[in-house]
Chain A
Amino acid sequence: MARRPLEDVKILDFMWVMAGPAGSRMLADYGAVIVRVESPTRIDTARTLAPYRHNQIGPDASALFANCNAGKFGITVDIGNPRSREVIFDLIKWADVVTESFSPKAMRAWGLDYPVIRKIKPDIIMLSTCLMGQTGPLATFAGFGNLAAAIAGFNNLTGWADRAPAGPFGAYTDYVSPRFTAIAIMAALEYRRHTGKGQYIDQSQAEASLHFLTPALLDFSANGRVQTGAGNSDPYFAPHGVYPAKGDDQWLAIVCRSEDDFRALCEVMKRPALASDARFKTMAHRRKNASALDEIIGNWTRGLEPREAERMLQARLIPAHAVQNSVEFYDDPQIRHRGHFVELPHPTYGDTIVEGPRAKLSRTPAQARRAAPTLGQDNQYVLEKILGYDEERIGEMVASGVLG
């Protein structure tokens, strides 16, 4: 079997909830060996978040937790216990990378901040990721990605002009920043390869995510314009919208990029005369009369099965797609073809399903190798196989309550 890209990389992972773990999950897929430390008493919030397997709440039932932590080993350590130092320090010596996603004071309070860790392992790479970064007046602001999304401006850019901002779905910065977490760690490993030096990486999830709002930030810098939510309208294309289709909460997204697209749409709708209608004859006209046009299109789509309409429109190369929920995405032939979902054995449930790696490497493909650990699942493995403790020492550790 081909080597996995990161199989020589060892990560001690203190990250929790979504943003951090979603980032280290990518590295696990590429072969990094990750030991994830969880508190035996303060449960990872991700374990408590929906969707839950068959809607039954339980510590291993969360799809979010399962998805963000596949491929990692899990150990429980009570960091408040003085004897936990032994295990944590030995893991630091073992690791190439230490990651954490607490609010900035936590690692310092535990005596596990970068200056301490670097003394134990001088070439360590340490990454801290939190909502606003390690410094500044909001450094200690703790919370979840929905709050960072609001502070970073995403919410005010998502909404209808006549209503209060709807905001993006959920913890939006938790979907953007994990890529930058994985990128930063791999870049620091590259730097260490050339120089032998480790370093400290301070990631503000809000700052990383602002790279997805650059055009709006530049519009303010260059033109003083404050962009706000513009519904589904587009500054160039019309029609450009989401139209009702047959069924409960069924919708169809349609975009016409050109006169050709629009003529083809009118033909598919069996309304060829619309293409030369004075209100719609150019993109500028269609933008000006967008609501009248949207109503005509909506009246046509309303009676259509969305997937059927998608096929009719795509057959004419008009950008269109059914607006898919989880059930429809799961059944999507494209998603099936790409092998997006992966089944893994699970110690509690027999099996489970997670999303597979997103970037497909042709020669050394990434792979989700095991289900997310149950609480403390790998305590024995980590102490015995990774740290090389003998039975007596492991027994002492258990007796001292370090593992909870």
Chain B
Amino acid sequence: MNLAVCFKRVPDTTAKIRIASGGKAIDPQGVEFAISPYDAIALEVALRLKEKSGAGEVVGVSMDPEGNDVAIRKALAIGVDRAVLVKGGATFDSHATAQVLAAVLKPRSFDVIFFGKQAIDDDAFQVPTMVAQLLGLPRVNVCTSVEIEGGRAKCRRQIEGGEESVELALPCVISVQKGVNGIHDNRFPTMKGIMAAKSKPVETVAAPAFEPTLELVSLELPPERPPGRIVGQGAAAVPELVRLLKEEAKVL
């Protein structure tokens, strides 16, 4: 089973974000980077499917404007067999990213191309669908379970008030939700895995150029949350609290 997993390098969820001068990018100074958590789950899904089938390989694919290989090395350390680092592209342009990834994926043959359902930096949810469209492959998004059997992918996903089961012919594109196949995180890399990662093949390719499809105007930090207010103590505070919830917050 040949599986590709596309993943994005994003600031670690615990990183303190600052906007770089110019207002159009995140200041990388002092920020630790990680694999976007849903993509990390996709990696784990693929690794387990491969382990279960006992054959094939898992190939990591990551587009990175700076060509930074931190995420790639992490993926190799947890067990990805080899990786393609696509240097170039633009961080927040989903369509341009999809075009780059589709161009890189097209000449390689995979049974399934996995993604996380969204990257946690731009929350766009768009790239998997666009890649599938550009490659002319069937796709299903936000899956909560994935099985590969007899040349078909059997997936389940949550829908309003219920669950949907779908089947796709391979090759296909699948994006995954947290909890898919009971997976909430990728495995810890092992010490051996970390040491072995150095010697695994990483192919670096330049991102083909595409016309940007949107212009990033500016990035801004969310406004600071106003500090909490103490309206009183004990039971005596309840009437005032109820009044504020009703009249000010309008939640009652």
Physical interaction between A and B: no
